[in-house]
Amino acid sequence: MIITINNEDGTTSYDVNNINDDGVKQESTVIVQKVGTLQVVIEALDFASRTHRANLEQLLKSRDEAIVETEEPVLEAEETTETDDK
């Protein structure tokens, strides 16, 4: 099984099957399986979240009595001082 790691140092590929130490090979395989499972869970949670948000939006669209006025946040101007340093 070839694993590719992308990080700040670049991209490195590893062939887990070439690891001589059976313990390290097994641990690597288990970690890869855990990461795969977590990725599936992340995608499922993202899908569920988007679905619930869309359902809530559809539910509230026809509820005019629930609409409230919201104020736009007022940004305070920063005080700046210009100097002539030439």
Does the pTM exceed 0.85?
no
CA distance 5 to 13: 6
Domain ranges of the chain: 20-62
Residue 18: predicted pLDDT = 95
CA distance 68 to 25: 59
**pLDDT tens sequence for the chain (86 residues):** 999 999 999 999 999 999 999 999 999 999 999 999 999 999 999 999 999 999 999 999 999 999 998 888 777 766 666 666 65
Give CA 43 to chain center in angstroms: 10
Residue 84: predicted pLDDT = 62
Residue 80: predicted pLDDT = 64
